[in-house]
Amino acid sequence: MDSYIEFLDYFNIDLNQFVEWGLSAVIFPPVDQVRIEWNYLKNRVFNNERVFIRGYGRTPQGISLYQGLYQFLFDNFNVDIDPTNNTIPHKLIYKLTDLKRNKTIFNYQVSHIWGRTKNIFMFECPWNICYTPKLMDPFTGHESSGKISSIFKTMFLKRAYSIYEPFISEYNNIILQYDIQNKIDEYLASTEFTLSEREINRFRNDAKKELSCISIPE
């Protein structure tokens, strides 16, 4: 039994119409503004300027693994942690859309479309954020499962991919050009850590997921 399906059936709501409404209500930042902010972000990454990521683990040592990785990969020594894990994306999407939660729009959530919030390119990425109706936000992440979640996640990612494909292709080229997956292994092999092998391997797996290419949704 799926409580979401039960809800739709009880109120005689068509599943396809529900999904279509959810997609139409998502607010994606406009492409022209995204292009400006994406170029600005790349410039900061490659020129050792300040960029933000979300915190990792429960200790400062956890996030220092990512900071060390970005020093190793891009020679960037100015990677900071978002003070609330949400401040920077909220400021960015307001700048991109001129819409503000609980001021001009209500019951919307700021969502990272592809997640990867410890990724130096993706936490502040203008094509990785959108305003999602709170009613639909659970279907974009890991909070729900089942038929509706599967359908909506797929359609949501396809819609975002179709809008931002040129930027996604550029991001994928960066990941491949810098040979990120292998460089993560090189970083871990060339650096002394006061961590257990289990902790190192956990970080290795997490980092490779965070810094992977984005595939076309199926």
Residue 131: strand, helix, or coil: strand
pLDDT confidence of residue 143: 63
Alpha-carbon torsion angle 107, 135, 161, 32, nearest 10: -20
Task: Quote the CA–CA distance of 177 and 199 in Å, as a whole number.
Answer: 28
Structure tokens at 40: 């600005």
Coil, strand or helix at 129: strand
User: Residue 144: what pLDDT?
Assistant: 67
Burial code of 102-129, b = ≥16 C-beta within 10 A, e = fewer?
eeeeeebbbbbbbbbbbbbbbbbbbbbb
Q: Are strands 79-81 and 51-53 parallel, antiparallel or unpaired?
A: parallel
In sequence order, the 6+-apart residues with CB closer than 8 A to the CB of 203 are 62, 65, 188, 195
21 contact partners, CB below 8 Å, separation of at least 6: none
Between strands 129-133 and 108-112, the pairing is antiparallel
- Which is nearest to 29 in space by CA: 107, 100, 103, 98? 98
Nearest to 41 by CA among 75, 83, 92: 92
- Would you write out the chain's pLDDT as a tens digit for each of its 218 residues? 888 889 899 999 999 999 999 999 999 999 999 999 999 999 999 999 999 999 987 666 778 999 999 999 999 999 999 999 999 999 999 999 999 999 999 999 999 999 999 999 999 999 999 999 999 988 886 566 788 888 999 999 999 999 999 999 999 999 999 999 999 999 999 888 878 889 899 999 999 999 999 998 87
Torsion of CA 137, 140, 141, 145, to 10 degrees: 100
Mark out the alpha helices in 2-59 (DSSP H runs): 3-10, 15-25, 31-46
pLDDT at 142: 59
- How far is 203 from 73, CA to CA, in rounded Å? 16
The full set of domain ranges for the chain reads 3-166
